[in-house]
Chain A
Amino acid sequence: MNAFVEAFLLVFNVPTLLVIVASAIFGLFVGALPGLTATMATALLVPLTFYMDPVPAIAAIISSTAMAITAGDLPGTLLRIPGTPASAAYVEDSYRMAQKGQAGLAIGIGVIGSVLGGLFGFVFLLFTAPMLAKFALGFSSFEYFWLAVLGLSCAALISSGGVAKGALSLLLGLLIAQVGTDPLTGQPRFTFGIVELVGGISFIPAMIGMFALAEVMRTGRLFKEATPQANVKKPFKGVMACLWKYRKNQVRGSIIGSLIGALPGVGGDLAAWVTYSLAKKTSKTPEEFGKGHPEGLVEAGATNNAALSASWIPAMVFGIPGDAVTAIAVGVLIMKGMEPGPQLLTVHPQNFYAVMLVFVVANLLMLPLGYIAARSARWIFEVPRALLNAAILVFCIVGSYSINNTMFGVTVMLVLGIIAYYLEAAQFAIAPIILGIVLGPFVEQNFTTSMIITNGNLLGFFERPLAAVLGAATIGIWSLMIAGSILRSRRESALKNAHP
């Protein structure tokens, strides 16, 4: 009970609430802008969180992300440009609804559905995380190693681009994490005599470069013409009736979103695609999907934010993030001395409950801010892109500089931004690189510890029952994905031979 009271005091004070509101407005603005994503909003915020207390720092990330993801439905609905990969699942329906004059309803379903889904995810997180934490207290380096590898494998294998590209993205992230001093012996690795590299490559300039700089390069002078003719007149009108009509979809979307989001390494993006297809398969009118039908929108929209909340379970309980945003958040938690893991819930439960409370506040804030955003969408879209680019880039530079107060951070941002730009143009996913950078030291430490315990015997990694299950699952997933890839390849070859 004391932990709850302490958590309440940590969140409900003027500075933290101001941070939550300001971050939510920032997230809303960035998320609503076509082409700018929730990850970019988070990346730009991190340098500021460097100077905050732990709870406001995490609160800033949670509220900006939740708001940016919800606001990402605005350009999706009005311009057919999805704000997030998850909202791409239902963008066709929301856009067609807007074309039929139901933009307010489509945006309202997105906002209110997200609030309900997010609150469901919060309840799920509240009840499952402490149980999982108690269970995780019995974990040794073997279980942690396999769990981290399983999470990283899922993130790499389900990413766009295929198995080889996902694996290469992940390995590149792991390699970047190895630059610096070896944690075991203190020997410098891959520093090539550069003093600044001895401390390693900080994930903050790396992630600013990969998400923000690369995004400015990609969208630089585009997005000029397509602005809506008017603001949305009556957002949220008829939403409750629609949500009630499709209540089964709302509940199912929330449950599936929570379950998929809770899987280490999977994150929320996949969940919305799964539930949209499920809604179509089980619908009485599947032929209406993609033509402006709200059913899939309700289910996938609820999934979106439920998965977002639930993706914090592996991040908080095991320290294994589910996607790029939670990877950034885990980095911030470590930076703030709030090492994620079962101890966070058992030794410092007030911090965990404070994070939970922030989820509730951020989700509730979506209602008024989402309404205002829908009403003023036109003005948000009309912010001149040239000025916005300048502001983003200045922030990128100052943010990268301020980590160590040297221009080396800016150099890291520049180099990794260029690499990310070209990799993304070649259909490589960037999230596994960030996950690799954040989780690299964790994986290596647990791997090395396990190797020392087993005296170099790799079979020892399978001696403990849970470690064996996790190890078998990891190997099984890789085998299935590789076998699937080979089979697809053969099928394609056979088709080509049959119809040259």
Chain B
Amino acid sequence: MRSVNVQDAVIGSLFTLLGVAVLYFSSGLKAMPGMVVGPGFFPQVTGAGLALFGAVLVTLSLWGRQDEAEDGTLTTTQPSEKPSLANRLFSPVLLLSILVLIVVMPILGFLVTTTLFSILVVLIGGGGLLRALIFSPVLTFATHALFVYGLRVPLPVGIWG
């Protein structure tokens, strides 16, 4: 019995849709008069390729073909037992915190936002509160000094500026 690779089927479908969307948007990019190729030509080739190989991936996944991964992939220490709640929440909380940082940093400035962000990352990584409270300000001020005074990068100062 064939087993359908759902993950590949979904990703393949998304790539096919992306390819079709690229074809649609690039068809609106017209060449200048007298030119054989316009700004839409290369994107059209790319869009067609995405749609084609996306469809191939969907077909292969529906046939239940195993991926052809070579042994060159890295071995990671995947735990054999079910990951804990903290492990499962790590990535979503991390991504959400970066999203919040993008919004908040221009308002609260680099020093405050990064210190809070670093405390959160250490905590969700299982580093403990004391370590987080000692390490985060040191990391933030060292990075600030390197980029602002060393490399002359104007990091956001927010409402304190």
Which 7 residue pairs across A and B have the least CB separation, nearest first?
A386-B127, A386-B125, A182-B39, A456-B36, A162-B68, A390-B121, A85-B72
Q: Contact residues of A with B, CB < 8 Å?
A: 34-35, 37, 48, 51, 80-82, 84-86, 88-89, 91, 160-165, 167-168, 171-172, 174-175, 178, 182, 184-185, 187, 189-190, 213, 216-223, 226, 269-270, 273, 384-387, 389-391, 393-395, 397-398, 401-402, 405, 407, 410-411, 414, 418, 421-423, 426-428, 444, 447-448, 451-452, 455-456, 485, 488-489, 492, 496
Interface residues of B in 72-93 (CB under 8 A from A): 72-79, 86-87, 90-91
Q: How far is the CB of A401 from chain B (nearest CB, A)?
A: 7
Number of interchain pairs (Cβ within 8 Å): 222
List 19 additional A-B contacts (Cβ < 8 Å) besides A221-B87, A386-B122, A394-B143: A35-B77, A37-B74, A81-B76, A88-B73, A89-B71, A162-B68, A171-B53, A172-B15, A182-B29, A184-B37, A189-B43, A217-B94, A222-B76, A385-B127, A386-B125, A390-B127, A393-B94, A402-B147, A402-B153
Does B38 lie within 8 Å of A161, measured CB to CB?
no
Does B74 lie within 8 Å of A82, measured CB to CB?
yes
Does B74 lie within 8 Å of A88, measured CB to CB?
yes
Does A394 lie within 8 Å of B50, measured CB to CB?
no
| Complex contacts, A81 vs chain B, CB 8 Å | 75-77
* Residue among B47, B49, B56, B69 making CB contact with A427, cutoff 8 Å: B69
Can you report 6 A-B residue pairs in the complex whose CB atoms are below 8 A from each other?
A221-B125, A222-B76, A393-B121, A398-B147, A401-B153, A407-B156
Does A216 lie within 8 Å of B94, measured CB to CB?
yes
Most chain B CB within a 10 A radius of its CB, from A89, A162, A407: A162
Identity of the chain A residue whose Cβ is nearest the Cβ of B88 in the assembled complex:
A221
Q: Contact residues of B with A, CB < 8 Å?
A: 2, 7-8, 11-12, 15, 18, 22, 25-26, 29, 32, 35-43, 46-47, 49-50, 53-54, 56-57, 60, 63, 65-79, 86-87, 90-91, 94-95, 98-99, 101-102, 105-106, 110, 114, 117-118, 121-123, 125-128, 131-132, 135-136, 139-140, 143, 147, 151-156
Identity of the chain B residue whose Cβ is nearest the Cβ of A403 in the assembled complex:
B153
Identity of the chain A residue whose Cβ is nearest the Cβ of B61 in the assembled complex:
A164
A216 to B110, alpha carbons, bound, how many Å?
21
Identity of the chain B residue whose Cβ is nearest the Cβ of A408 in the assembled complex:
B102
Does B102 lie within 8 Å of A384, measured CB to CB?
no
| Complex contacts, A178 vs chain B, CB 8 Å | 42-43, 46
A184 to B38, alpha carbons, bound, how many Å?
8
| Complex contacts, A34 vs chain B, CB 8 Å | 77
| Complex contacts, A189 vs chain B, CB 8 Å | 26, 29, 39-40, 43
A217 to B37, alpha carbons, bound, how many Å?
42
Does B57 lie within 8 Å of A168, measured CB to CB?
yes
Q: How far is the CB of A18 from chain B (nearest CB, A)?
A: 13
| Complex contacts, B49 vs chain A, CB 8 Å | 167, 171
* Given known A-B contacts A37-B74, A273-B72, A390 and B155 have beta carbons under 8 A apart: no
Q: How far is the CB of B5 from chain A (nearest CB, A)?
A: 9
* Given known A-B contacts A390-B121, A391-B139, A219 and B76 have beta carbons under 8 A apart: yes
